[in-house]
């Protein structure tokens, strides 16, 4: 893992939903080594702890993009930054998704604010990807235009049926899995969703999920972000910031 800490210029800021912001950040070195699924650890003015946010887009040698929702005071402080301001981050961090050029068919599953990291994967796989996104309702849906541009097949689900499929992401996922076995399923979202996705994939489908945990250092030193992992039948603590955030779904114990 190679990473740096620095202050980088925000070249573009936009609102992509209610209380959800997109930043494009100029960081040539970071962007040239970052991979989908990795995250950045952002300093929030006045806070002891940084905030982990996934990388949502990578323009190698130029910029990365992040999309985040205001959840509390830390993300609110980060959201006060504007175009031209400097954002202080440690990046890129963690182990990203396994990207394989030979994969012919992959399924990406994003739940709510778990959708951003799926965009960087969709940009890699293009028309070889089917993206299933789930949101509470139509106005909570984000990044649909960006996802469409990648050429991926898009399936939108809403809990209340106000747009797309009425129901959870697992329904269309089950249908797709029945039709053909994909080379990989990648997922990011709330834990119950990840659990269902992992169950549907079972033993035969290669499935990677991105986990969240409260973090302090973000680089594997403080042991603050432990999660339980089953490796070769033995239970041990892995660290979401260094061994993850992406894990093979079969390894995660919850």
Partner 1 sequence: MADLSVNICGIDLKNPVIPASGVFGYGREYEEFYPLSELGGIATKGTTLNKRTGNLSPRIAETPGGMLNSVGLQNPGIDHFIETELPYLLKKDTVIIANIAGSTPEECAAVAEKLDSTDVHMIELNISCPNVKQGGAAFGTDCTTASEVTRHVRRSTKKPLIVKLSPNVTSITEIAKAVEAAGADALSLINTLLGMRIDIDTMRPVLRNNVGGLSGPAVFPVAVRMVWQTANAVNIPVIGMGGITTGRDAVEMMMAGAAAVQVGAAVFEDPYAPVRIAAEMNEFLDSRNISSVRDIIGAVKPW
Pick between residue 122 and residue 215 the one whose CB is nearest to partner 1.
Answer: 215
- 219 scored as a contact of ligand FMN (CB under 6 A): no
- 226 scored as a contact of partner 1 (CB under 8 A): yes
- 72 scored as a contact of ligand FAD (CB under 6 A): yes
User: Closest separation between CB of residue 190 and partner 1, Å?
Assistant: 14
**For residue 245, is the peptide bond before it cis, meaning its omega torsion is within 30 degrees of 0?**
yes
Among 151, 167, 220, 224, binds ligand FMN (CB under 6 A): 224
Of 66-74, 145-153, 156-164, 190-198, the segment contacting ligand FAD by CB under 6 A is 66-74
- Are 12 and 59 within 8 A, CB to CB? no
Residues 165-194 interacting with partner 1 (rule: CB under 8 A): none
- Chain residues in the site for ligand FES (CB under 6 A): 215-218, 220-225, 239, 241
> Which phi-psi region, left, alpha or beta, contains residue 167 (left: φ > 0; alpha: ψ -120 to 50)?
left
Query: Which DSSP helix (H) or strand (E) runs through 33?
Result: helix 28-33
Q: How far is CA 163 from the centre of its chain?
A: 22
Pick between residue 50 and residue 65 the one whose CB is nearest to ligand FES.
Answer: 50
User: Closest separation between CB of residue 15 and partner 1, Å?
Assistant: 26
User: Closest separation between CB of residue 3 and ligand FES, Å?
Assistant: 13
d(CA 10, CA 239): 29
- The counts of H helices and E strands in the chain are 6, 16
Among 76, 86, 191, 223, binds partner 1 (CB under 8 A): 223
- 95 scored as a contact of partner 1 (CB under 8 A): no
> Which phi-psi region, left, alpha or beta, contains residue 88 (left: φ > 0; alpha: ψ -120 to 50)?
beta
Query: CA nearest 190: which of 177, 167, 203, 209?
Result: 209
């Amino acid at each position: 893992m190679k990473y740096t800490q620095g202050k980088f210029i925000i070249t573009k800021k936009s609102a992509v939903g209610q209380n959800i912001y997109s930043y494009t950040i100029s960081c040539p070195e970071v962007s040239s080594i970052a991979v989908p699924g990795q995250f950045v650890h952002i300093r929030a003015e006045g806070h002891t702890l940084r905030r982990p946010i996934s990388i949502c887009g990578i323009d190698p040698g130029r910029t990365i993009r992040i999309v985040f929702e205001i959840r509390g005071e830390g993300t609110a402080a980060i959201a006060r930054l504007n175009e031209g301001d400097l954002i202080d981050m440690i990046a890129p961090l963690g182990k990203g998704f396994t990207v394989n050029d030979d994969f012919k068919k992959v399924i990406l599953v994003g739940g709510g604010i778990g959708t951003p990291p799926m965009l960087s994967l969709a940009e890699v796989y293009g028309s070889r990807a089917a993206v299933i996104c789930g949101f509470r309702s139509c106005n909570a849906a984000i990044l649909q235009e960006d996802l469409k541009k990648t050429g991926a097949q898009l399936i939108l689900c809403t809990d209340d049926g106000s747009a797309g499929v009425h129901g959870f992401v697992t329904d269309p996922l089950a249908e797709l899995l029945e039709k053909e076995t994909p080379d990989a399923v990648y997922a990011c979202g709330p834990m119950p969703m990840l659990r269902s996705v992992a169950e549907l994939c079972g033993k035969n489908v290669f499935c990677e999920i991105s986990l969240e945990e409260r973090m302090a250092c973000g680089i594997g030193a403080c042991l603050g972000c432990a999660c339980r992992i089953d490796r070769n039948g033995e239970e041990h603590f892995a660290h979401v910031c260094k061994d993850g955030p992406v894990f093979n779904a079969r390894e995660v114990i919850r």
